[in-house]
Amino acid sequence: MIGIIDYKAGNLTSVARAIQYLGFKWMISSDPEKLRKCERIIFPGVGAARSAMESLREFHLDEFLKEAFKKGIPIFGICLGTQIVMEESEEDGGTKTLGLIPGKVHRFPDPLIWNNEVLKVPHMGWNSVQWLRKHPVINGLDPDFEYYFVHSYYPKPAKEDFILGYTFYGINFPSAIIYENLIAFQFHPEKSGRPGLLILKNFCEWKP
């Protein structure tokens, strides 16, 4: 069973449809007791870090995620769910987050300029990822595949070892991070067509 965390900040329907299409059983819940019965956890998200953290604390999902991580349960972060696993976000003047991966979340520079052109923030649309090394969750991906992004902030882990892939948008930013049984992507696999489905399938079969 794949547990999809409902903390009032997730793109839950699209994620659930993708998992169902792939043939895996899933459940959406904000109840830690129900989620503890799941073999894997997907931590999706859209919105702001501070309000997301408030919801996580309200439902005791912050404690659940830390517990699941320590137990070695495979965890998959998406977009805001990728940022929340870091220690702190610059959003809203500074927000303490879960701290599962050492590092901080930064906003794109303002202005964000490339080749004398001011780039729009949020970064929205299709972009590629430069994968740094092999990993079971990205098996079978063509280097030319592109993925769907919508974000103004990005994770910056404390160690290069935690970075699985970079994306360029005015700057090179980490778009895929990995630490033990936790893997997370700044883009939306559930909205990225065939390559995104392959990532989700690989995660559902991954044994850290």
The model carries a pTM of: 0.95
d(CA 47, CA 158): 24
CATH number at residue 132: 3.40.50.880
For the segment 70-113, what is each residue's pLDDT rounded down to a tens digit? 999 999 999 999 999 999 999 888 999 999 999 999 999 999 99
* Domain encompassing residue 25: 2-205
- Residue pair 86/106 in contact by the 8 Å Cβ criterion: no
d(CA 141, CA 136): 10
Which active-site residues does the annotation give?
79, 188, 190
Number of structural domains found in the chain: 1
For the segment 105-128, what is each residue's pLDDT rounded down to a tens digit? 999 999 999 999 999 999 999 999
